[in-house]
Structures are given as structure tokens and as C-alpha cells.
Amino acid sequence: MINQNHDIHGIGMTSARTRDRLVQRLKEAGIRSTEVLEQIRNVPRHLFVDEALASRAYEDTALPIGLGQTISQPYVVAKMTEALLEGLESVRVLEIGTGCGYQTAVLARLVKEIYTVERIPELLKKTKRRLRQLDIYNVHYRLDDGWQGWPKYGAYDGIIVAAAASELPEKLLQQLKPGGRMIIPVGPSGRQKLIKVTKQNGRYEQLSLGLVSFVPLIHG
């Protein structure tokens, strides 16, 4: 969990006013969950991007983080988190694509445990260190192929995928609890849809949440 005493409010680019403007934009864009908006306000996004881009950290835009990866747009992080957790409490979540850890940090205060999988060793090493600095300790890390998930600790109440799959990954669907849900971008570049999959009575109900743009979910 994030220690609220951690000094994450600075001046200028990290000021409370800058963060409030971002939260207001997300409200206007349709994010309703006060808990999610509070996390967007509290998580120090400037710590998750390169120093050269820190002045843009509270813009509602995706930014490069190196190694061909990006930190997701705050609106998309908020939308995915809201869709994942709506109506659920004290949940265990599988996250595919740890990346820089920003989505992980937003989720950390809202769920019981996060099991997160990343395939790039350098990213995972940096992210572990960064989240420890923020006193986030309810995250378990695995270096592996995201298509495989992390079956050892399944089934999960929720699965959140931060890379676009060409199709719904069967092994991830199998790791959902009955009544659980998965939020995942699906489709080729330029035609990706954010899909909410709910497991009900042994079936998987799908709902499109709109168009998105993510790096691809790579095998291996």
C-alpha cells in the first residue's frame, strides 16, 4: 500500500493544482469512481517516466518509457481500473504487463493483492525498486510470458491486461473466478478495442468499452 506520508506533492509540475487539473479532465471524460480518481491524484506519475519527460507527467497522454514500451494515458488507466473493480471488494488481481508500474501503483490501494507478470527483465527490476520506494508491498512479481498468466495463484477475481492481444488468451480466461472479469485490449494496431469479459455460468460475456491503442501482447 502507498504510505500517505510519503512526500509525493512537490511544486510546479508535481503540484496539487496540476494533479487536480488532470483529475478534472478525467471526470469530464466520464470517470466516475471517486476511489480511482483519488488514486490518479495521489500516485506520483512523474516518478514513472524519464526525467526529461517529467514535466509532461500529468498530461492526459501516453508517454514512452524506453524498450519500445509506453506508460498508458491516465484516462485509459482510470477507465480500465474502474471497469475492473466496479462492484468488487477486497479482490485479488492478475496484471499482465507490469511495465513501469504506474497501473500497478494505481491499483495497489484498491485491491487486496496484485500478481503481476512482465516479460522484460530491465523493466521489472526498475519497477520493483520504484514500488518499494512508494511503500507498495501487496504486489507479487513474475518474469514470464503474459499469455500464460500466473496459474499458481489463480483463480483471480480480476485480470487486467496492459498490452493488446490478437485474440482473447484462453489461458487467461481459465484463470478467472466464476463472476470474475478481465479488462483487455484486443485487435491489431489501429483497430484495438478495450473489452470487458465477465465469466458467468461457465460462459464469457463480452462488452466493448471503446477504442484504445496499446503495444502488442507478445508471445514468449
Known catalytic residues?
72
Sheet harboring 176-186: ordered strands across? 139-143, 113-118, 92-96, 156-161, 176-186, 192-200, 203-212
The Cα 20–Cα 94 span in angstroms is 29
The Cα 85–Cα 198 span in angstroms is 12
**Cβ-Cβ contacts under 8 Å for 190 (sequence gap 6 or more):** 213
